[in-house]
Structures are given as structure tokens and as C-alpha cells.
């Protein structure tokens, strides 16, 4: 019996992973609709790309503060439903409810503060459960299969984004409220399906904790592993003789500024500059999302063969070319064609971004340090990017959005040519140690 249980536990649970991924799916569909339509609502009040960009970054600010707290809180929760599920039961319906309230805003008659209030509560609700949605997968999936599990979880998020962009095309032109209502219904329905099919208390991680606590006769408090602080991490990186890590982090910051700004401001640009209807404008991002998903696996296969730095450079060149041509020829057909190219380029960039940072770590003990700094730079870009680009757009004119974003992608490409490390040949023992350190993050 024990051998059977161990064998079952060691299997990669594909169908179960897809069901677990429904939690992350709810974030993908909600954020994608939010990023393509709420920005237009804000622009109707503010008429400023910079101010819209600043408010659209609210989710990242709330996330940085709330998600680590909620992740730690759930680690130390014990209920008959498990550690993560109780937070999903509260967070998903709350997020769906406040998401629907956003759609009730009439920008012609309702005050701006009411929209900002519903946005804030929606962001808090999403931050309340996002960490738990991500943590649920490694609770069920043993370390050796977590890379495949993470791929499925991210695929589910991508599917959510594609559905949201599809609703932009098909439903928003008729009723913005109906589109938001469908997203809210899908979120709650996904939670119900997950609750009916996934029993968190059966996860090997939860069972291990219960067994340990039963032996010790008391609750075991999960402590986060001690990791270097941000300042200490920067000091370590700045002290390196080879500045490749620093250049890599600046490149990461630069391309995330460009991408996050484009994602947050594009649908405003499409309505404001091209005169498109808001649903069609938001739906155009589908032509970035689908190629990104389709290219993700090939990018993961190609990159180790041609080199991760080379892959990122190719991706940046594709994105820069697409942005430049769209700037010169801003029409729907050109945008669709070159969004497809940009989506393929983004896959080559994004699939390799954190992996190359891990590869640049001199040893497994530095993996946590490098990961923490990577997320700091990427989150900082997500917070500042839409606002920074928005300032230049307000100053230069809305037709320059793609050109301004391109400045940051070009800067990233320049810094990538200064990166000299990241493809080091490791012994099998070193590879094993690094992989273990990555899984333990």
C-alpha cells in the first residue's frame, strides 16, 4: 500500500495540474480585461497618459505589499479545507464582485473617486489570493515535476488572457457591463470546478505538515528561509568584477518598462489615435498573446541550443522592428501582422529572462539573491513603466507611444551586448545543486 501511494505521488499529475491552474486562470482573464478597458475609463476622466499609467500601476503596488503577507499567512493556516483554498474562497468571489462594480461606473456622471475605490478593492481582492493560487501547484506536485507544472499554470493564465481579449472583440462592442459580468461569472465558475475536483487536504505537502505536527504535538510554524536583503544583494552584485549581472538587470528593467507601458496604454492609443471602437482596440492584444503562447515551448527548446543571450537579442530585435514599423504605419492590418512578430519576440525574451539570471548566479547559494533582485527590477518597471512612458507621450504627442516604448527596448538591447556571462558550462554536480536551489525558492 505504501509503495502504491509513493508511486502515485511521484507521478506528474497532468489533469490535476490543469484543474489547479484554474486558480491562476482567474487572474489571467481578470487582469487582461482590466488592462484593456479600465485604462480607457480612466482616460475619459484624466485625459493624460501619465496619470492613467500611474493609476494602472496600482495593482503592482498593492501586490508587492500584500502578496508576500498573504503567502506567509496561508503557509501557517490549517483548516479542514487546507491552507490555500480558504483564501481562494474569499478572494475570487470578492475580486469578481468588485470587478463587476467597476463596470457599473458611468464616466459621464459618476465621480472619479468611485472608480478608483472599486479599482482599489479589486486590486486588494486579487492580491489577497494570487500567492495562494501560485503556491497550490507545488503543494501537489513534487519538485522534479514542478517545471512542467509551472508551464501548465502559466498556460492557464495565458488561456485566460486569450478569452478576455476574445470578449473584447465579441462582447464589449455591445455591452461593457456584460463583458465584465461574463468575466466575473467565469472566475466564480472556475473556483467552483476547482473546489469540486481538488481536495487540498490530500496534497502531499499538507499531509507532511499534519504528520509532523501530529508527531510533535503542536502546530509547526512555517518560517521563510533567511535570504539576503535587497541592499545586501545589490552590494554583492555591484562588487562583482564582471558587471554582466548589473547590465542584465538594467536590460530587464528597460524591456519591462517598454512592455508594461505598451500593455497598459495601447487600448487608449488605439481609441485615441486610430479611432477604433474600445472593444476592438482591447482585443488587438490577442495577436500578441496567442503567438507568445505558441512560441513559448519552441523558445524553451531553441534557446539552450543557440544561447539564451542570443535568443533574448533576437527577441528584442523582433520587438523593436515591430514597434518601429507600427509607429511608421499605424493601421490595423500592420498592427495585427507586427503584433504577431512582437509576440514571438516577447516569448524569446520572457522565457529566458529569469532563467539567464539563475544561470549567471556564481553558485547555488546566490540563486535566492539573484531571484530577489530580478523581481525587484521587474516589479519596479511594472510600477514606473506606464507612468514614465505616459509622461513622454503627454509631452510629445500620442502618436509617439510605440517610438517611446522602443527607446526602452533599444536600451535593453544595448545592455544585452554588454552582458558577457550567462552561458557558463557547469559540471553535472553544479547543475544539480543549482536546480535544487531554484526549486527551493
pLDDT tens for each residue of 187-205 = 999 999 999 998 887 776 7
Q: What is the pLDDT of residue 435?
A: 59
Q: What is the pLDDT of residue 74?
A: 76
Distances (CA, A) of 263 to 33, 203, 285: 11, 36, 8
pLDDT surpasses 70 at 166: yes
CATH superfamily of 12-224: MFS general substrate transporter like domains (1.20.1250.20)
Q: Where are the domains of the chain?
A: 12-224, 232-441
Domains 12-224 and 232-441 share a fold: yes
Q: What is the pLDDT of residue 59?
A: 87
Minimum mean pLDDT range among 81-95, 120-134, 321-335, 357-371: 357-371
- Angle, vertex CA 260, rays to CA 259 and CA 263, nearest 5: 85
Question: Which residues are CB-contacts of 175 (< 8 A; sequence separation ≥ 6)?
Answer: none
Q: What is the pLDDT of residue 433?
A: 56
Average pLDDT, the chain: 85
| H helices, E strands: number in the chain | 19, 0
The residue whose grid cell reads 475609463 is 41
Q: Which three cell numbers stand for residue 300?
A: 524553451
pLDDT surpasses 90 at 372: no
**Distance from C-alpha of 154 to C-alpha of 139, rounded to nearest angstrom:** 16
Percent of the chain scoring above 90 in pLDDT = 54
What is the arithmetic mean of pLDDT over 57-61? 88
What is the pTM (predicted TM-score) of this model? 0.86
What is the arithmetic mean of pLDDT over 323-339? 96
The residue whose grid cell reads 525587484 is 376
Name the residue with higher pLDDT: 237 or 334.
334
Minimum mean pLDDT range among 39-43, 322-326, 327-331, 376-380: 376-380
Q: What is the pLDDT of residue 5?
A: 46
Segment 226-235, tens digit of pLDDT: 555 667 777 7
Distances (CA, A) of 230 to 234, 236, 370, 373, 422: 6, 10, 10, 7, 21
pLDDT surpasses 50 at 4: no
What is the arithmetic mean of pLDDT over 195-218? 75
Contact 308, 364 (CB under 8 A): no
Which residue, among 19, 100, 59, has the nearest Cα to 383 in the 3D structure?
59
Distances (CA, A) of 39 to 73, 174, 176: 32, 19, 13
Sign, Cα dihedral of 190, 67, 200, 79: negative
| Candidates 1.20.1250.20, 1.10.3720.10, 3.30.110.70, 1.20.120.1810; CATH matching 232-441 | 1.20.1250.20
End-to-end CA distance of the chain: give it in Å, rounded.
Answer: 32
Amino acid at each position: 500500500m505504501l509503495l502504491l501511494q509513493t508511486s502515485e505521488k511521484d507521478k506528474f499529475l497532468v489533469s490535476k495540474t490543469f484543474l489547479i491552474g484554474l486558480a491562476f486562470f482567474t487572474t489571467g482573464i481578470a487582469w487582461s480585461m482590466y488592462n484593456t478597458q479600465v485604462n480607457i475609463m480612466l482616460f475619459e476622466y484624466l485625459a493624460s497618459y501619465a496619470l492613467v499609467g500611474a493609476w494602472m500601476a496600482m495593482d503592482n503596488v498593492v501586490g508587492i505589499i500584500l502578496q508576500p503577507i498573504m503567502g506567509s499567512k496561508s503557509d501557517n493556516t490549517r483548516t479542514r479545507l487546507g491552507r490555500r483554498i480558504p483564501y481562494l474562497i474569499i478572494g475570487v468571489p470578492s475580486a469578481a464582485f468588485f470587478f463587476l462594480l467597476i463596470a457599473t461606473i458611468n464616466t459621464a456622471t459618476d465621480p472619479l473617486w468611485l472608480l478608483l475605490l472599486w479599482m482599489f478593492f479589486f486590486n486588494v481582492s486579487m492580491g489577497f489570493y494570487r500567492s495562494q493560487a501560485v503556491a497550490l501547484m507545488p503543494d501537489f506536485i513534487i519538485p522534479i515535476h514542478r517545471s512542467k507544472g509551472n508551464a501548465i499554470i502559466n498556460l492557464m493564465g495565458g488561456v485566460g488572457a486569450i478569452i478576455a481579449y476574445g470578449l473584447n472583440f465579441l462582447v464589449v462592442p455591445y455591452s461593457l457591463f456584460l463583458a465584465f459580468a461574463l468575466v466575473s461569472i467565469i472566475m466564480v465558475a472556475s473556483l467552483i470546478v476547482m473546489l469540486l475536483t481538488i481536495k487540498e487536504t490530500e496534497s502531499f505537502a499538507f499531509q507532511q505538515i499534519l504528520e509532523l505536527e501530529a508527531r510533535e504535538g503542536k502546530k509547526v510554524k512555517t518560517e521563510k528561509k533567511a535570504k539576503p536583503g535587497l541592499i545586501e544583494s545589490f552590494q554583492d552584485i555591484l562588487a562583482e568584477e564582471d558587471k554582466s549581472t548589473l547590465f542584465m538587470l538594467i536590460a530587464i528593467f528597460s524591456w519591462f518598462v517598454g512592455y508594461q507601458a505598451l500593455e497598459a496604454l495601447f487600448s487608449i492609443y488605439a481609441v485615441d489615435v486610430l479611432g477604433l471602437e474600445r472593444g476592438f482596440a482591447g482585443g488587438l492584444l490577442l495577436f500578441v498573446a496567442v503567438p507568445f503562447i505558441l512560441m513559448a515551448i519552441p523558445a524553451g527548446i531553441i534557446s539552450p541550443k543557440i544561447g539564451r543571450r542570443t535568443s533574448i537579442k533576437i527577441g528584442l530585435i523582433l520587438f523593436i522592428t515591430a514597434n518601429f514599423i507600427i509607429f511608421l504605419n499605424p493601421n490595423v492590418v500592420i498592427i495585427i501582422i507586427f503584433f504577431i512578430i512582437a509576440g514571438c519576440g516577447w516569448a524569446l525574451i520572457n522565457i529566458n529572462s529569469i532563467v539567464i539570471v539563475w544561470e549567471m548566479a556564481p553558485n547555488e547559494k546566490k540563486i535566492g539573491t539573484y531571484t530577489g533582485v530580478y523581481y525587484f527590477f521587474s516589479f519596479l518597471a511594472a510600477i514606473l513603466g506606464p507612468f514614465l512612458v505616459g509622461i513622454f507621450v503627454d509631452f510629445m504627442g500620442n502618436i509617439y507611444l510605440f517610438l517611446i516604448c522602443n527607446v526602452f527596448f533599444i536600451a535593453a538591447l544595448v545592455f544585452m551586448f554588454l552582458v558577457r556571462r550567462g552561458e557558463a558550462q557547469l559540471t553535472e554536480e553544479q547543475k544539480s545543486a543549482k536546480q535544487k536551489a531554484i526549486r527551493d525558492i
